Structure 1
Amino acid sequence: MASRREQVQEETRLRVLRHFDSDPNLSSREIAKLVGISNGAAYYCINALIDKGLIKLNNFKSSGKKSNYAYLLTPKGFSEKARLTLKFLELKRIEFNELKNEIDQLTSEAGALQQPLGTGKIQ
């Protein structure tokens, strides 16, 4: 089982991959804001994804603007995005079921507290 830190890192990678998949022209600063991490963390995450071969950085030299870059998911990046999505969904389903069970238990306990002594009926 992955530690909480590893889960957060995987969720961050998934969110970054998803954002670049939908808009490859986002800057690292925009990614940081969208994902809710610092600019430094975004820069580190993007570079790690490039190093792992999950995204590649394309520079459009013909545009004349130095800031025109695009982060494109590689085939390996699409596979990793799919893997992380499935893992994330499974974790969220588990959390949902645990939360639902806790809500059901609390609702039952609250209902028992509302019953007047000796009647067995909920008011």
Structure 2
Amino acid sequence: MSKSLKKIDPDVHFRVLNLLEDDPNMTQRKLAEKLGISLGGVNYCLKCLIDIGHIKAANFKKTPDKSVYFYLLTPQGVKEKVKLTASFLKRKMSEYHALKKEIIAVQSKAKRDYSDFRE
């Protein structure tokens, strides 16, 4: 495992791959906005993902603005996205079940407290 991969949050890693798969033309600024992280954070993440071979970046050949890139998932990136999707869903389902359990407990306590208050 690459050193740079250890520094990328798995949720951010998953979301970047997911967003770029849907829209390879997405700018770093738009990625930052959608992810809720800084532009510098997105730049760092993209560089790491390029270094480890999960995405490749290319300039649009016909545009005069050479800073415009599109990002494509590599076959390795697609495989990693599948793994990240499974772990993301497992983690989020676990969080959902814990939150649901907590909500039920709070609702139950609130009903008891309210009924005690009314008497």
What 5-or-longer segments of structure 1 have no aligned partner? Answer: 1-5
Cα distance change of structure 1 residues 26 and 115 upon mapping to structure 2, 3 Å threshold: closer
Q: What residue in structure 1 maps to residue 17 of structure 2? A: 17
Q: What residue in structure 1 maps to residue 101 of structure 2? A: 101
Letter in 2 for 1:57: A
Counting matched residue pairs gives 112
What 5-or-longer segments of structure 2 have no aligned partner? Answer: 1-5
The CA RMSD over aligned residues, in Å, is: 2.2
Percent identity over the alignment? 41
Letter in 2 for 1:15: R
Q: What residue in structure 2 maps to residue 90 of structure 1? A: 90
Q: Tell me the CA shift for residue 103 of structure 1.
A: 1.3
Q: Tell me the CA shift for residue 44 of structure 1.
A: 0.4
Cα displacement string for residues 31-79 of structure 1 (whole angstroms, at most 9, x for unaligned residues): 1122111111110000000001000012233x04223421000011111
Q: What residue in structure 1 maps to residue 51 of structure 2? A: 51
Greater relative contact order (Cα < 8 A, sep 6+): 2
Q: Tell me the CA shift for residue 116 of structure 1.
A: 4.9
CA distance in 1, matches of 2:95, 2:68: 41
Cα distance change of structure 1 residues 23 and 116 upon mapping to structure 2, 3 Å threshold: closer
TM-score (norm 1): 0.80
Q: Tell me, what secondary structure is at the counterpart of 1:56?
A: strand
Cα displacement string for residues 3-40 of structure 1 (whole angstroms, at most 9, x for unaligned residues): xxx7x811111111111111111122221122111111
TM-score (norm 2): 0.82
CA distance in 2, matches of 1:14, 1:34: 13
Q: Tell me the CA shift for residue 98 of structure 1.
A: 0.8
Letter in 2 for 1:102: E
